[in-house]
Amino acid sequence: MQILDGKALAKKIEGNVTNEVAKLKVQTNSTPGLAVILVGQDPASQAYVSMKKKACDRVGFYSVTHEMPEDISQDAIENTIAMMNQNQNIDGILIQLPLPPQIDTTKILELVNPAKDVDGFHPYNVGRLVTDLDGFVPCTPLGVMQLLNEYSIDVKGKNCCVIGASNIVGKPMASLLLNANATVEVCHIFTDDLKKHTLNADIIFVGVGVINLIKEDMVKDGTIIIDIGINRSDNGKLVGDVDFENVSKKCSYITPVPGGVGPMTIAMLLSNTLKAAKLNAQKKD
């Protein structure tokens, strides 16, 4: 069993981004800029945004966070997005989800300029992903593909079971795998007999937020496990969706939690923002 070390790869990618940022500053006299909208006081959202801000600082990005109260109006967020769309110094716009119930999340995501949609949630970029055209891909599944690539794990022809069908992880993960010629099954909350599907899988991708959902008797020997879940156990420890201690005994490769997919998500956000900055610099020329 080999650990897929997302932390080490993320550090390597950060180093590459830092070098590219320095080159971009010399060539175009511009600095990649990321703007974040953070609504309310959700501790998890605040922690994520803080981690993203620190990562931006490390690689030399300009970043700004628009902190808004929980009772913010739809119009106020829309106006802020319109302002950021027009701002030439902002290359990437990130809406920290979830948004409060009075906000129409779909409309907010659709208002972001697709060329600044570094989270890859705009329908334009979703469509380009599904049709295997270049665009911005959601950071977590993109990070998973980079991690597999780093360890020379080819998904072509492999039976891949994606558990979870969210717009943020499950659906884009399935699209990326299909684009790489994998055979893909998508399971979700209404799937009957999950074990039947996981036992047939060469690679299992799970990100639903259920502690110990994947158990030892649900995987065959030599399976590759990509644990995208992140949960806090009763004792306060961060854990994934896989019973790591027991499942890891049967795996050929497995991602740890923390230190697996999580760091890759932020690394891909940096990578996407750099890509947006380069495209923006070309337009200015």
What letter would DSSP give residue 116? G
- The share of the chain scoring above pLDDT 90, in percent, equals 93
Collapsing DSSP to helix, strand or coil, 4 comes out as coil
Looking at the predicted structure, is the pLDDT value of residue 284 above 80?
A: no
Q: Domain 29-114 falls in which CATH fold?
A: Rossmann fold (3.40.50)
| Whether residue 10 has pLDDT greater than 90 | yes
Q: Provide the percentage of residues in the chain whose pLDDT is more than 70.
A: 100
Q: How far apart are CA 75 and CA 81, in angstroms?
A: 10
Q: Please, what sign has the CA dihedral across residues 187, 191, 257, 49?
A: positive
Cα distance between residue 196 and residue 183, in whole Å? 16
Task: Provide the CA 30 distance to its chain's centre, in angstroms.
Answer: 26
Give this prediction's pTM.
Answer: 0.95
What pLDDT, in 10s, does the model give residues 144-153?
999 999 999 9
Q: Tell me which residues are annotated as active site.
A: 52, 96, 119
At 65 the pLDDT is: 95
Q: CA–CA separation, 277 vs 282, rounded Å?
A: 9
Question: Does 73 have pLDDT greater than 70?
Answer: yes
Same fold, 29-114 and 139-262: yes
Q: Which whole number is the average pLDDT over 269-277?
A: 98
- Cα distances from 161 to residues 47, 147, 164, in angstroms, run 30, 17, 10
224-227 and 203-206 strand pairing: parallel
Residue 224 burial class via C-beta count within 10 angstroms: exposed 0-12, middle 13-18, buried 19 and up: buried
Q: Is 56 left (phi over 0), alpha (psi -120 to 50) or beta?
A: alpha
Bridge partners, residue 93, by sequence: 35
CATH classification code of 139-262: 3.40.50.720
Q: Where are the domains of the chain?
A: 29-114, 139-262
